[in-house]
């Protein structure tokens, strides 16, 4: 799994002009599920993500997690994070999980995240979405489950 995590003041996602998900102060997570990803990968990634100390404490130091600040999350499925751009100019997405498995792990990610933070908004799997955010910092981190599990 690969995630782009952005610390946000707020974020939202619309489908066909209708707001389908949003969050306040917290994390916008763009989540890509790769072929071969497992629930263990999901758990490692999510656990690290919600404990990542990227929010400021009273001294202005990044010393608090999204859980520490009682923050929120917006999670948006994004298979394009798995783009292979090595050859030619048109990326392929052969490294992305098959849609049924990617959706299963995405839904499981949402379910487990909801047990860890106050509010979890989300996009619509497979939809054409418009994502808006107010990036805070900016703080943006790319996180890969393979790095956390030692596969890479």
> Residues with catalytic annotation?
78-80
Q: Is the distance from CB of 37 to CB of 97 less than 8 angstroms?
A: yes
How many distinct helices (H) and strands (E) make up the chain?
Answer: 3, 8
Task: Residue 3: name the closest of 61, 56, 54, 79 by CA.
Answer: 79
72-77 and 26-32 as β-strands: parallel, antiparallel, unpaired? parallel
Cα separation of 80 and 76, whole Å? Answer: 12
Coil, helix or strand at residue 8: strand
Taking the CA atoms of residue 62, residue 65, residue 71 and residue 72 in that order, the dihedral angle to the nearest 10 degrees is 110
């Amino acid at each position: 799994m690969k995630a782009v995590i952005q610390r946000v003041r707020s974020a939202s996602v619309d489908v066909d002009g209708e707001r389908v998900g949003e969050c306040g102060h917290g994390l916008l997570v763009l989540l890509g599920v790769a072929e071969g990803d497992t629930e263990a990968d999901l758990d490692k990634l999510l656990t690290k993500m919600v404990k990542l100390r990227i929010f400021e404490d009273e001294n202005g130091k990044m010393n608090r997690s999204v859980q520490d600040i009682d923050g929120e999350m917006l999670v948006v499925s994004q298979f394009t994070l798995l783009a292979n751009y090595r050859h030619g100019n048109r990326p392929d997405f052969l490294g992305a999980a098959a849609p049924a498995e990617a959706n299963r792990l995405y839904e499981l990610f949402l379910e487990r995240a909801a047990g860890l933070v106050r509010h979890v908004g989300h996009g619509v799997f497979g939809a054409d979405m418009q994502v808006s955010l107010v990036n805070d910092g900016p703080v943006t981190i790319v996180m890969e489950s393979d790095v956390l599990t030692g596969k890479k």
